[in-house]
Amino acid sequence: MADKKARLTVDGLDDVIELPVYSGTEGPDVIDVRPLTGQGLFTYDPGFVSTAACESKITYIDGGKGVLLHGGYPIEQLAENSDYLEVCYLLLNGELPTPEQKEEFVSTVKRHTMIHEQMNHFFNGFRRDAHPMAIMVAVVGALSAFYHDSLDIDNAHHREVCAYRLIAKMPTLAAMCYKYSIGMPFQYPRNDLNYAENFLHMMFGNPCEEYKPNPVLAKAMDKIFLLHADHEQNASTSTVRLAGSSGANPFACIASGIAALWGPAHGGANEAVLTMLEEIGDEANIPDFIERAKDPEDSFRLMGFGHRVYRNFDPRAKVMKQTCDEVLAELGIENDPMLKIAKRLEQIALEDEYFVKRKLYPNVDFYSGIILKAIGIPTNMFTVIFALSRTIGWISHWSEFHSSPNKIGRPRQLYTGPSQRDYKK
């Protein structure tokens, strides 16, 4: 039931249109504009920035206050007390698991980490220098050709099995992309390692010797996964929901999310940070680039500062900064030239009146980019890791969509082309 009504008067219409208004648990009220179609009217909202396209119980963001909640839990508390797989369970089920539920969940994920051996041959069809995101779009979509025993989207158990498979297999596929690019053999997953440790093992291990994950780096990797797990109705999540509305299988839908994430305006932010640092090149050049960033006539922008959603601060950034400091201290590379540029930019952004006044604080992408570089992950793999992390958010929203009555997405348009005209020979 609607909590209240909005009354709309439109020039040319005699009647006042009443529209239902709904209130969520958090956030602004929403006006149900569906009755407008009966009056021959649509709403116009390019980018859907003022449109609630769905109802969801998974994640809530208040950008003005710097709040990010998963199932009602603040991201800072989850980052401090939880881990990635526990947050995966929370996003899928709406509640944190009991110790017994978590043990069973983790065990099930570990048993699904291997991929069908035939999929190894897929990689041979790509050039060695292919962008790993291009490979990820292809191989994730191809999973439906191997795991077609559970593709009934109306079956809750099938949806659950697909979710487990995707969470478990994404690190394996991501690491395979990297290994293929450098001509090294793929590493099979190890069930004796936790999620982050296993990913690092598959990335950096080799058959010649045992790989022992550094606990500080594994913890940092888990934090990166956790902090990127879900971010409400962003472009890639909305893409997954829209693709899912057609009844497409979940692997195809997640592949569509990967494709959307690949865009530099979405998933390439931490990669852009490293590109910017390379462009600056030396600490001595920082003042010139700072002045360029302040010049509205200059196209240069400091990447990794401020956020489109968070108008105050990115609540994930504080956690990531602490993790960044721990990683740099553990590896003893504080004097790396590029990292020194990054730390100096961070100091300026936190102290310079221009940046402080505009709340252009370092965001999660700034720190995660530095961490990934320090660990030794190449820049073109950054967005792949983002996709790995975000898969749980995508599949949770996809599953939520199919758990209740739904209809295929069909946005409207404001047509400004020619009116009807006759074809003349």
Residue 70 included in any domain: yes
- Among the listed residues 409, 314, 329, the one whose alpha carbon sits nearest the alpha carbon of residue 365: 314
- Together in a domain, 42 and 154: no
- Among the listed residues 179, 178, 168, the one whose alpha carbon sits nearest the alpha carbon of residue 116: 168
- Together in a domain, 156 and 240: yes
Residue 425 included in any domain: no
44 falls in which pLDDT band (50, 70, 90)?
Answer: confident
Predicted pLDDT of residue 259: 96
- State pLDDT tens for residues 56-72: 999 999 988 889 999 99
Residue 149 CA, distance from chain mean position: 28
Residue 188 included in any domain: yes
Predicted pLDDT of residue 2: 64
Q: Which residue has the higher pLDDT, 293 or 308?
A: 293
> Is 70 exceeded by the pLDDT of residue 230?
yes
Residue 130 included in any domain: yes
- State pLDDT tens for residues 306-355: 777 776 778 898 888 899 989 999 998 877 788 888 888 888 888 888 88
Contact (CB, 8 A) for 246 and 153: no
237 is in which domain, residue-wise?
62-405
For the question of whether the overall pTM of this predicted structure is more than 0.85, the answer is yes
Angle subtended by helix axes 156-181 and 99-110, to nearest 10: 50
Predicted pLDDT of residue 1: 54
- State pLDDT tens for residues 100-148: 999 999 999 999 999 999 999 999 999 999 999 999 999 999 999 999 8
- Together in a domain, 201 and 123: yes
- Together in a domain, 141 and 269: yes
- Among the listed residues 248, 256, 253, the one whose alpha carbon sits nearest the alpha carbon of residue 152: 248
Predicted pLDDT of residue 126: 95
Which secondary structure element, helix H or strand E, spans residue 273, and what is its range?
helix 269-280
Residue 416 included in any domain: no
Catalytic residues: 307, 365
Which secondary structure element, helix H or strand E, spans residue 70, and what is its range?
strand 67-70
- State pLDDT tens for residues 348-388: 888 888 888 888 888 888 888 889 999 999 999 999 999 99
Interatomic CA distance for residues 222 and 215, integer angstroms: 10
Interatomic CA distance for residues 414 and 342, integer angstroms: 45
Residue 152 included in any domain: yes
Interatomic CA distance for residues 155 and 158, integer angstroms: 5
**CATH classification of the domain holding 19:** 2.20.28.60
- Together in a domain, 160 and 33: no
- Among the listed residues 346, 352, 318, 316, the one whose alpha carbon sits nearest the alpha carbon of residue 334: 346
**What are 133's two structure tokens?**
């995101």
Interatomic CA distance for residues 10 and 207, integer angstroms: 71
Q: Average pLDDT of 401-408? A: 91
Number of domains in the chain: 2
**What are 10's two structure tokens?**
């439109």
- Over pLDDT 70: what percentage of the chain? 99
84 falls in which pLDDT band (50, 70, 90)?
Answer: very high
Residue 415 included in any domain: no
- Together in a domain, 323 and 179: yes
- Together in a domain, 42 and 176: no
Predicted pLDDT of residue 264: 82
- Together in a domain, 14 and 106: no
- Together in a domain, 46 and 149: no
187 falls in which pLDDT band (50, 70, 90)?
Answer: very high
- State pLDDT tens for residues 263-290: 888 888 778 888 888 899 988 999 999 9
Q: Which residue has the higher pLDDT, 419 or 349?
A: 419
- Together in a domain, 211 and 83: yes
Predicted pLDDT of residue 129: 94
Residue 132 included in any domain: yes
- Together in a domain, 230 and 166: yes
Residue 200's SS3 state is helix
Q: Average pLDDT of 181-192? A: 95
Ranges 8-17, 46-55, 252-261, 314-323, most confident: 252-261
Which residue carries 């956690």 as its tokens? Answer: 319
**CATH classification of the domain holding 278:** 1.10.580.10
- Together in a domain, 119 and 13: no
**What are 136's two structure tokens?**
């990820």
Interatomic CA distance for residues 62 and 68, integer angstroms: 7
Which residue carries 């690092």 as its tokens? Answer: 200
**What are 187's two structure tokens?**
């590493």
